[in-house]
Structure 1
């Protein structure tokens, strides 16, 4: 399980990271809202642990923007704001769980595992192509039944190729779908993603044709 922890206190953050890792949870730590949004765009996380007292942005505002980017990402608010009004605001604002500091790391780990189990129990779109099984919504992927870690953009790229159903997809189309029209990206950004996907899934995962673009090396099952 990969978790994004957004906690501005370095000491508390390091303690949470160390504690959750003992329970088999991989933790990526962001100290600001800006760092958290950048990490979310580049990685696939199974849950978000969010402190509301951030230095550059209100935590509830960050929650709303991260929810817009990934609607079904499980969110656990971890904060010193213990008034019932704060708890209700957090839960009504999109959080799935609310833990007040101080807390026991064993309970935090157990709550995260429960959140992810509930999320994975929901009906999800599944793409099956050759040895690849991909859940675009959750970002989970398996190759020959073994779990593979893909970034959020790698997942999106594979999903767009799969939806093309064997047709060639141009780099410009992929750039527009993955980054949008307003985000500035380097000219070789798609090539970098393709290289990383082939490194993780094998050279046959994506085919290339000069002048036509890319397509998935395996045909999706209907």
Structure 2
């Protein structure tokens, strides 16, 4: 299932949009502020951004502009109460891919998000590699040398985060957010199961890396 980050401070609106997207088979994490959205983008892999323009900590459009300057090329749909022509032009010129004025129908929003998700992902590769280990979240696979193994979605997101961290320790909460999003409750041992399975798969691949755990510190990839 493809995942989008929905950045919307109105709790009722966010819940309705997220519910509509999920009913259409699109997973949606919710962030209430621009800073929460930026943190979510650092933790997880998304296919698109749905962004409210009026946020408590600033203009969503200004935030999107800063994301674009930093190299973020995820397709973005702007939600706004402003429907003047110059507002739409400003949005497109600051990196928005589409613009939807409130109030809107859920059917139209879902259709527009689906259109964004069909666009080629091509400007930035989601594949990450470190020490010869390569993770492809789009294919939910991990490769080392000539060997490739399939991963569950949660395994792919956890391993992707660890590979991108390049040996730096990540907190448990960071990996749980990467694996299951910000709004899905999980059992207390769900991450432990994923870690066990990843260790088994790294051994099967013959990769010279192990997933190490340090109590009170977090999780990281390290040489055997």
If the TM-score is normalised by the length of the shorter chain, which range does it land in? 0.5 to 0.7
Match of 1:185 in 2: none
Q: Is the 8 A contact 1:41 1:153 kept in 2?
A: no
Structure 2 unpaired stretches of 5+: 142-148, 176-190, 203-208, 213-220
- The 3-state SS of whatever aligns with 2:74 is coil
Change in CA separation of 1:148 and 1:8 when aligned onto 2, cut-off 3 Å: same
Change in CA separation of 1:153 and 1:86 when aligned onto 2, cut-off 3 Å: farther
Is the aligned partner of 1:214 residue 2:217?
no
Match of 2:12 in 1: 11
Match of 2:198 in 1: 201
Match of 1:181 in 2: none
Is the aligned partner of 1:189 residue 2:135?
no
Match of 1:84 in 2: 85
Q: Kindly state the Cα deviation for residue 189 of structure 1 after the two structures are TM-superposed.
A: 2.9
Q: Kindly state the Cα deviation for residue 45 of structure 1 after the two structures are TM-superposed.
A: 1.1
Change in CA separation of 1:155 and 1:66 when aligned onto 2, cut-off 3 Å: farther
More strand by share: 2
Q: 2 CA distance for matches of 1:145 and 1:34?
A: 33
- The 3-state SS of whatever aligns with 2:119 is helix
TM-score (norm 1): 0.67
For these two proteins, the number of residue pairs brought into alignment is 183
Match of 2:138 in 1: 140
Alignment partner of 2:160 out of 139, 155, 159 = 155
Q: 2 CA distance for matches of 1:128 and 1:104?
A: 41
Runs of 4+ aligned residues of structure 1 deviating over 4 Å after TM superposition are: 121-129, 144-147, 150-154, 190-193
Change in CA separation of 1:113 and 1:121 when aligned onto 2, cut-off 3 Å: farther
Q: Kindly state the Cα deviation for residue 39 of structure 1 after the two structures are TM-superposed.
A: 1.4
- The 3-state SS of whatever aligns with 2:55 is coil
TM-score (norm 2): 0.66
Structure 1 unpaired stretches of 5+: 162-173, 176-187, 218-222
